[in-house]
Amino acid sequence: MKERIIITGIAGSLARLCAEELHREGHEVIGVDYRTAPPGLPKEIVIHRANYNKTRIVDVFRKHRPTMVLHLGRVGNLKEHPNKRFDLNVIGSAKLMDLSNELKVKRFVVLSTFHIYGAHPHNHIPIHEEEPLRAGQNFAQLADAVQLDNQANTWVYRHRNVRTVVLRPTNIVGPDIKNAIASYLRQSTVFHLLGFNPMWQFVHQTDMVRAIMLAAKGEEVGVFNVAGTGELPIVDALELTRLGGQRVVAVPSPLASAFLRLSRTFGQAFPTYLIDFFKYACVISDERFRKAFGYAPQVDLVETVRSNQAAARAA
């Protein structure tokens, strides 16, 4: 059945990959972003530039009257002012949900992040969906992400007529991805904390697109973790980056924040909340998602990390 699908965050690589996949399947795709979308998408994909919390987004929804919404446009870029991130992530997401309810959208998929669990010594291993969200306790940088997830979680059961899925993926990497972790792994010098070697997880971009497609087309509702094919110690993951010529440096923990501030490699936009992820494990279980949607990641863990070192497409 042909769907009319609005995808937010179309200027980002993951949303573009999903848009291209849905277009190939014959669906009508409308991309929305507060940023200017880069060229290269099929001409049949309609693009609108609109803030998610402004009147313009109302016009987009009422013009196209989507049957499905993929909200992949969570703003994690710390270069954006915190107030703007809050307006887009929290106020804007609420507006998208309200519009979906008003226009009788059948399916709503929200892309959250496993970072909201926080990396903490008291975390269970693995972390299931009902675990507490610790990230907002220590890092204001993640407060809007936690609030977005919480309101989406509440929405799932308050508005059952809009069948809603919230996805909390682990670190998404791949040749087209330019989020904080993918970019960090490509730097000429990559650091880890001396004396710490927690387990990390990664999911390849193609497996993440597959997960989003399954969530969009499935019948289940709720909150689901999404992971790749396994986990490995962060130092082992960094050793895999050496194939791209990177230098791996161990930094004493007390100097890590200063290192991030002073290093030209990472710059001030590197999220300081990630320092805890270099200390403590945050390993999630996606067993619930696998059972509900038949998800099975295809890309081997080592290949997932190595593929990230390929030249990324401009984003």
Give the pLDDT of residue 138. 67
Structure token digits, residue 134: 């610790």
Q: How far is CA 122 from CA 105, 139, 270, in A?
A: 40, 17, 25
Give the pLDDT of residue 76. 77
- Report whether 98 contacts 62 (CB < 8 A): no
Give the pLDDT of residue 209. 98
Structural domain spans, the chain: 4-175+201-230+283-298
Number of CB atoms found within 10 A of residue 193's CB = 22
Number of CB atoms found within 10 A of residue 173's CB = 27
Give the pLDDT of residue 314. 37
Low-confidence ranges of the chain (pLDDT < 50): 264-268, 312-315
Give the pLDDT of residue 271. 76
Give the pLDDT of residue 222. 97
Give the pLDDT of residue 136. 66
Give the pLDDT of residue 294. 98
- Report whether 223 contacts 129 (CB < 8 A): yes
What stretches of the chain adopt beta strand conformation (E)?
4-8, 28-33, 46-49, 68-71, 107-111, 163-169, 171-173, 189-193, 199-204, 222-226, 231-233, 247-251
Give the pLDDT of residue 78. 64
CATH code given to domain 4-175+201-230+283-298: 3.40.50.720
Give the pLDDT of residue 245. 80
pTM above 0.85, yes or no: yes
Give the pLDDT of residue 127. 97
